[in-house]
Structure 1
Amino acid sequence: MAKAPVVEEHDLRRMLKIATVTGESPVRDVALLYVLYGTGVMLTELAQLKVSDYLTESSVVRRDSFIRPEIAHNNLERPVFWVNAKVVAAVDAYLAIRVATGQGLTERKAAYRSLDPNSFLFLRADGEPYGLTARKSPNGVINYSCDSLSQVFRRLHSQAGVEGHALAGRRTFAVRLYRKGYDLHHIAALTGHQTLTAVRRLVDSDPVKLGDLVSGVV
């Protein structure tokens, strides 16, 4: 299988700009892009994040959170950090829209910004959750996918003329960390890979331009 493409900064900026003026839920779509490219989560993990994975009961953003093992792609808990200012601002803007439109609210107005802590962090335009589809492989292993959310990301990439899909966010996240000089152990901890070989495969063949390398030498 071919590797997912690495989306460069200018292409991501174009995607975000176009997302703000297209689709049924532009504020949600911008937040989805920021979370996908800013945390390295898998698509099915993103679909199953809950409000309580992002907010504390006192409505404060959980700076240090985690991907719950029951939703993790490898069934192992790993950290996720809500510390990037752009990611947090985008998610906060979307949650404000949810409150204003009454999507997934609770009667406890003082807790979780009035949102049900057990509701999913991201919802469809109609306020319903993104459902997962189970498929059994020939060897009997059950895999899950989220086709409806996958289509959202394909649309967001396509309308901006950017090659890619949901897996591009994860690879781009890893490659950008690698370019900044972070070691494979740290990248593995953030992406949930259990071996350094798997991380190397993720960041290998980084399409960095040779001219970009030379431009910063002196």
Structure 2
Amino acid sequence: MAKPPVVELHQIRHALKVAAVTGQTPVRDVALLLLLYGTGLMPNEAAKLLISDYLEANGSVRVESTVRAEIAFNSKARPLIWASSKICQAIDNYLSYRVVARQGAPAAYRGLDPHGSLFRASDGQPFTFTRRITGSGVISYSCETLTEIVRRLHQQAGIEGGNASAARRTFAVRLHRDGRSLKLIQELLGVSSLSAVKNLIQRDPVRLSSIVSGVI
């Protein structure tokens, strides 16, 4: 199975510009793109984030948060770091929009329900999940609406093969390019082994082009 593409920074910037002027909820879509590319979260995890995963009661951002075990794809908690000013500004803009759109209530947490979803569908309601039963009888749930939103945001920006998996792989590759250890990348992604991390970062197109350019 082919790996999802690594999306370069100029492509991400273009996708953000397009997202900002299209769709039903542009301010949310911009925040979603930045979230996925800046954290490596999966769609199901993003859809299950709560206001309290992002905000303290006094309205400040929780810089060191957690992908809680109950929402993590592997049921294991891992760090969720809200340190990027770009991501936080985009989410703050979206939350301000929600308050103005009366998707909040007078209280702490900037007037939003701490137990409510951080991201919502365009109608202001929490994202819904589709229940599936595998051939072996295992029950799973997927947020197909959010997954489709992310796919559409890449498609309208002309990013071939772009989706949430591409954002996750790009997150890993960019950390590796910055010299971060495989162990750190593993911790942030929550993957089971270092070999899984290596598989994500192998065949980095920038590294390959750098190698080939120096051949002659």
TM, length-normalised to structure 2:
0.94
Offset of residue 141 of structure 1: 2.3
1:92-133 deviations in whole A, cap 9, x for unaligned? 000000011111x2342xx10000011100111110111111
Q: Distance in 2 between matches of 1:143 and 1:184?
A: 29
2:110 corresponds in structure 1 to 113
* Paired amino acid for 1:99: V
How far the C-alpha of 1:210 sits from its partner, in A, is 4.2
Q: Distance in 2 between matches of 1:199 and 1:54?
A: 26
Q: Post-superposition shift, 1:214?
A: 8.2
Alignment partner, residue 142 of structure 1: 139
CA apart distance, 1:194: 2.0
Instruction: Specify the SS of the correspondent of 1:7.
Output: coil
The code of the aligned residue for 1:153 comes to: V
Instruction: Give 1:152's aligned amino acid.
Output: I
2: CA distance between counterparts of 1:143 and 1:212? 42
Matched residue count? 213
Distance in structure 1 (CA, Å) of the matches to 2:147 and 2:201 = 22
Structure 1 CA distance for aligned equivalents of residues 209 and 152 of structure 2: 31
* Alignment check: 8 A CA contact 1:5 1:171 kept: yes
Match of 1:180 in 2: 178
State the 1:197 CA deviation. 1.1
SS in 2 for 1:95: helix
**Per-residue deviation at 1:179?**
1.0
Cα displacement (A) at 1:182: 0.8
Cα deviation for residue 2 of structure 1 reads 2.1
Partner of 1:144, secondary structure, is strand
Contact 1:43 1:167 in 2 (8 A): no
Q: Structure 2 vs 1, CA of residues 142 and 205 (structure 1 numbering), >3 Å: closer, same or farther?
A: farther
- In the aligned structure 2, how far is the partner of 1:44 from the partner of 1:95? 20
The percentage of counterpart residues that share the same residue type is 52
CA RMSD of aligned residues (A): 1.6
In terms of mean alpha carbon deviation, does 12-21 or 134-143 score higher? 134-143
Q: Secondary structure at the residue paired with 2:79?
A: strand
The answer (yes or no) to whether the contact 1:37–1:169 under 8 Å persists in 2 is: yes
Distance 1:94 1:215, change over 3 A: farther
Q: 1:213 to 1:12 in 2, by over 3 A?
A: farther
Cα deviations across residues 61-120 of structure 1 (Å, max 9, x unaligned)? 0000000100100000000000001000000000000011111x2342xx1000001110
Unaligned runs of 5+ in 2: none
Q: Which residue of 1 aligns with 2:197?
A: 199
Distance 2:211 2:109 in 1: 45
Q: Does 2:117 correspond to 1:128?
A: no
Q: How does 1:13-162 map to 2 (within 5 A)?
A: 13-103=13-103, 105-108=104-107, 111-162=108-159
Gaps of 5+ in 1: none
